[in-house]
Amino acid sequence: MYHSSYSMGAAEGAAVVAVFLVFMGLVLLGSIAMYVITAFLLSRIFKKAGVASWKAWIPIYNTWRLLEFGGQYGWWALLPLVASIFAGIISLPASDSSFGISAAEIFGDLILLGGALTYYVFWALAAYAIGLKLQKEGVFVLWAIFLPIVWMIWLAFDKSTWNESAGAARLDTPDFDPAEVSDETTVVEETIETIIGDEPAKEAKKDNN
């Protein structure tokens, strides 16, 4: 009887571990897929802004550059990371407390929230300026605020061109003149376009030819 109960417990434990590993695997694959899609879309926006498209594939730095050509300081991209580290340092002494949530933990959470909100405000301001520079009305920024993926897809695939005189002045130095942006795609872009069936890009190429 004891042996049977032990075997059933071990089997249930193994099943739980298996389900957990599958779940974590799916989360990891989803995260990788989202990173690839986001970086690809940003690479097309970067190209319109006169920034080398490969820079859109570097985490944190891609946000730094987006903020800069959107007229905001690039180091705002580090704010969530700095806030997380600072909040962790503050909350660490109270983490072993058995008296519920401490004042230090509450303060740490407020730092996290404040850092995230502050960063998001400057990101939205950059998105607003980028929209203006790519011939969009000011209200277009609402897509960036509520559905950023739609904002990126729209700007990545429409035929808008960069107008430096619109919106806030960029704070970076472009890698090349946005007015001389080539319609040629990189190997990575061509591969992803094939996978996702990028019809707008294909039609644009046909029109240019």
- Token pair of 36 as six digits: 């690839």
Q: Mean per-residue pLDDT for 140-161?
A: 96
Task: From 99, 147, 110, select the one nearest 127 (Cα to Cα).
Answer: 147
Measured distance CA(185)–CA(4) in Å, rounded: 63
The DSSP code for 164 is T
pLDDT tens per residue across span 46-102:
999 999 999 999 999 999 999 999 999 999 999 998 988 888 787 776 555 555 567
Helix (H, G, I), strand (E, B), or coil: what is residue 97? coil
- On whether the CB atoms of residues 183 and 162 are closer than 8 A, the answer is no
The residue to which tokens 């740490």 are assigned: 108
pLDDT tens per residue across span 171-184:
999 999 998 876 54
